[in-house]
Amino acid sequence: MTNPLRVIISGGGTGGHIFPAVAIANELRRRLPDTEILFVGANGRMEMTRVPDAGYKIVGLDITGLQRRLTPQNLMFPVRVFRSVRKAGRLIEEFRPDAVVGVGGYASAPVLLAATSRAIPSLIQEQNSYAGLVNKLLGRRVGRICVAYDGMEKFFPKEKIVLTGNPVRTEIADGDRAEALRFFGLNPDKKTLLVIGGSLGARTLNLATAAALQQLRDAGVQLLWQTGKLYFPEAERLAGPYQADNLHALEFIKRMDLAYAAADVVISRAGALSVSELCLTGKASILVPSPNVAEDHQTKNALSLASKGAAVLITDEHAQARLYDEALRLLGDTERQQQLSTRVRELARPNATAMIVDELLQLIKK
């Protein structure tokens, strides 16, 4: 490749799509520093701020998902799709990419449609154990499908599938515990619980945590509680009286490497990115899958760990009653923590990003 490589990366909507996309871009730039990368996202979604924060240019499409009921937004859906595919086609004609990567989410569909109709090498990265609708629809059109779980031939042509794992920021596992405790102002003689509900927050986890603040203080446990933007004002008010006991409500945790390093036990949703990070960091965890996702794929993600003795699974409906009793039992049982940690590390795929970029470069050479 004498000329600089040009790649479009499309998709987004949640951190579970955005962070893998940025990890792929970073790996491309690490290997081929002259690579020109353009992101395409959906206007109004979090990728429109998070991608520029990571140092990349992004263009937005006016595309949304279908609602489950008849709404004015649904009536406009065909028009938005048509306009988005047309705009994506113009972007491709102007940018002239050597390849296109789709990571899932609304914006990846128009871009992949436009790219595959022009015979541009295209790759899908599917994070979940149950494939997303966009990826399922476009799987037959692309050249390669990189997946994180076995058994994905249920959704995709078997000959196109490569088991790579999910791209995860490998530095997430490099946090130093002593530095982490200083960074968050935590006591090294106390157990620390980390609660993360995904990039957008999680109502069930937030309500259960708010109700357990006194229980945690009585148990002498420290808390790092990532609430998400919407619940943060209320969480900050409720946690205020407990600040001296190191029960901290945080809107968003940028230094997740240090948050994982500080934690003895993690409570988390079971999005694909969260599950992959837990495998890489080797943390004992309690997973509470969100029921508000397509095809209940978070439960399938969580079961992939729990069935191997690599995590504890508590359903969303039982979280209010059981979550914190189980968390305190686990915090007090270092032997069980170690068992969970050992088994979850066995499921880690630290070379996922490199493997995906290998597949992408092979597609381009063909």
CATH number assigned to the domain comprising residue 207: 3.40.50.2000
pLDDT for the residue 325: 98
Phi, psi (deg, nearest 5) at residue 9: -120, 125
Question: Is residue 259's pLDDT more than 70?
Answer: yes
Question: Is residue 65's pLDDT more than 80?
Answer: no
pLDDT for the residue 64: 63
Tell me the C-alpha distance between 341 and 152, whole Å.
26
Quick one: 95 and 31 in the same domain?
Answer: yes
Task: For residue 90, tell me if it sits in a domain.
Answer: yes
Give me the domain span that covers residue 281.
171-345
pLDDT for the residue 71: 53
Quick one: 286 and 355 in the same domain?
Answer: no
Query: CB of 248 within 8 A of CB of 184?
Result: yes
Is 169 part of any known ligand binding site? yes
Task: For residue 184, tell me if it sits in a domain.
Answer: yes
Q: Which of 67-71, 222-226, 279-283 has the lowest mean pLDDT?
A: 67-71
**Model-level pTM?**
0.84
Structural domain count of the chain: 2
Is 273 part of any known ligand binding site? yes
Question: Is residue 72's pLDDT more than 70?
Answer: no
pLDDT for the residue 1: 47
pLDDT for the residue 198: 67
Query: CB of 363 within 8 A of CB of 123?
Result: yes
Provide the 3-class DSSP secondary structure of residue 129.
coil
Helix (H), strand (E), coil (C) string for 301-314: HHHHHHCCCCCEEC
128 vs 294, more confident:
128
pLDDT for the residue 68: 46
Is 298 part of any known ligand binding site? yes
Quick one: 151 and 16 in the same domain?
Answer: yes
Q: For 13-63, how does the pLDDT look when each residue is reduced to its tens digit (9 = 90+)?
A: 777 788 899 999 999 999 999 999 999 999 988 899 999 999 999 999 987
Task: For residue 113, tell me if it sits in a domain.
Answer: yes
DSSP secondary structure code for residue 283 in this structure: -
Is 342 part of any known ligand binding site? no
In angstroms, the Cα distances linking 84 to 63, 88, 112, 138, 180 are: 6, 6, 11, 16, 44
Quick one: 163 and 180 in the same domain?
Answer: no
Question: Which residues neighbour 239 within 8 Å (Cβ) at sequence distance 6 or greater?
Answer: 213, 223, 225, 247, 248, 249
Task: For residue 301, tell me if it sits in a domain.
Answer: yes
Tell me the C-alpha distance between 142 and 37, whole Å.
19
Tell me the C-alpha distance between 212 and 208, whole Å.
6
Quick one: 111 and 189 in the same domain?
Answer: no
pLDDT for the residue 117: 96
Quick one: 195 and 274 in the same domain?
Answer: yes
Is 199 part of any known ligand binding site? yes
Share above pLDDT 70 across residues of the chain, in percent, rounded to a whole number? 93
Say how many CA atoms lie within 13 Å of 314 toward its Cβ.
20
**What is the maximum alpha-carbon separation in the chain?**
64
User: Mean pLDDT of all residues in the chain?
Assistant: 91
pLDDT for the residue 74: 47
Q: In DSSP terms, which residues pair with 192 in a beta bridge? A: 222
In angstroms, the Cα distances linking 80 to 73, 301, 324 are: 9, 32, 44
CA nearest neighbour of 123 among 142, 95, 96, 97: 142
pLDDT for the residue 308: 96
pLDDT for the residue 73: 54
Task: For residue 34, tell me if it sits in a domain.
Answer: yes
Quick one: 206 and 266 in the same domain?
Answer: yes
Quick one: 327 and 233 in the same domain?
Answer: yes
Number of Cβ within a 10 Å radius of residue 243: 12
Question: Is residue 300's pLDDT more than 60?
Answer: yes
Is 128 part of any known ligand binding site? yes
Tell me the C-alpha distance between 17 and 191, whole Å.
32
Q: Which of 64-78, 91-105, 159-173, 181-195 has the lowest mean pLDDT?
A: 64-78
pLDDT for the residue 66: 46
Task: For residue 1, tell me if it sits in a domain.
Answer: no
